[in-house]
């Protein structure tokens, strides 16, 4: 085992997974509260380990601070309210510079969908990996939940670690863990999502907003995601939601 790797505050920066990486990641993710600096470092280190590496399920935190992304989140929501359309941005991890890069491109879609513009900085295509996506939902009965397309895009992309969806009342963020499948076929994801949606939206005498909330929880259980939410008042601090009740 060679010792000529460079360590820059966390995970080793070569393409192999070193035997110490699991221990480093466990120690980094073990606190129950993640300040912004810790969350940022974890996201970068997971990108260095490569696509398909996610947060250890046993160490999923209770709260995460999104301070470094808050202005982007707020700006997207304001633009969405002005346009009445979904808006989005992609966040990249630069594995060489060990930093997060907020895309300079803002996508504006329709009232019900938006395309993620996953274009890295020029010349940094090999160093930068999309790790977090942010998009908005204009006002509506299902605005506080992810759509099937949202989940399909997120679960089907082994590079993405978290997806932030903001709406008028706050935000919702699923986070991938080590029990999240990263090689599931698209058709299997579509089928399982359709089955869950049928189970929840065919139930009589249930309020639409409650159906959406319960569906979010069921999807997270099904695919090994940890669900975080925040009200508008909470701003940049998201709280883990109990999904098993």
Long-range pairs for 123-130 at CB < 8 Å and ≥24 separation? 124/94, 127/94, 127/95, 127/96, 127/97, 128/92, 128/93, 128/94, 128/95, 128/101, 129/47, 129/51, 129/92, 129/93, 129/95, 129/159, 130/90, 130/91, 130/92, 130/157, 130/159, 130/160
Give the per-residue pLDDT at 207. Answer: 59
Separation between Cα atoms, residue 78 and residue 244, nearest integer Å:
33
Instruction: Check whether 244 has a pLDDT greater than 70.
Output: no
| Residue in this structure with the two tokens 């010792």, named with its chain if needed | 3
Banded pLDDT at 215 (limits 50, 70, 90): confident
Residues near 141 by beta carbon (within 8 Å), at least 6 away in sequence: 208, 209, 212
Task: Yes or no: say if 240 and 62 are a contact pair by the CB < 8 Å rule.
Answer: yes
Q: Residue 228 to residues 65, 115, 178, 217: CA-CA distances in angstroms?
A: 11, 23, 17, 10
> Is pLDDT of 14 > 60?
no
Q: Which residue has the higher pLDDT, 12 or 118?
A: 118
Task: Note the pLDDT tens digit of each residue in 58-110.
Answer: 999 999 999 999 999 999 999 999 999 999 999 999 999 999 999 989 999 99
For the segment 141-190, what is each residue's pLDDT rounded down to a tens digit? 456 678 889 999 999 999 999 999 998 888 999 999 999 988 889 999 99
Contact 184, 202 (CB under 8 A): no
Model-level pTM?
0.88
Give yes or no for residue 134 having a pLDDT over 60: yes
CA-based end-to-end distance of the chain = 47
């Amino acid at each position: 085992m060679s010792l000529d790797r460079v360590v820059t505050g966390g995970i080793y920066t070569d393409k192999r997974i070193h035997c110490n990486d699991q221990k480093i990641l466990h120690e980094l993710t073990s606190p129950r509260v993640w300040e912004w600096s810790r969350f940022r470092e974890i996201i970068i280190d997971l990108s260095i380990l490569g696509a398909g590496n996610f947060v250890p399920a046993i160490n999923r935190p209770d709260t995460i601070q999104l301070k470094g992304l808050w202005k982007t989140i707020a700006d997207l929501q304001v633009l969405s309210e002005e346009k009445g359309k979904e808006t989005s941005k992609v966040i990249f991890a630069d594995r060489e510079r060990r930093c997060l890069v907020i895309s300079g491109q803002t996508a504006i879609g329709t009232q019900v969908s938006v395309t993620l513009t996953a274009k890295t900085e020029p010349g940094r295509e090999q160093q930068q990996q999309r790790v977090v996506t942010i998009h908005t939902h204009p006002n509506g009965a299902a605005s506080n939940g992810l759509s099937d397309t949202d989940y399909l895009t997120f679960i089907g992309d082994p590079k993405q670690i978290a997806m932030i969806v903001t709406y008028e009342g706050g935000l919702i963020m699923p986070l991938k863990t080590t029990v999240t499948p990263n090689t599931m076929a698209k058709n299997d994801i579509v089928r399982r999502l359709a089955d869950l949606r049928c189970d929840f939206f065919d139930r009589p005498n249930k309020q639409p907003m409650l159906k959406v909330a319960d569906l979010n929880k069921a999807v997270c259980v099904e695919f090994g995601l940890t669900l975080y939410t925040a009200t508008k008042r909470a701003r940049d601090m998201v709280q883990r939601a109990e999904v098993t009740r």
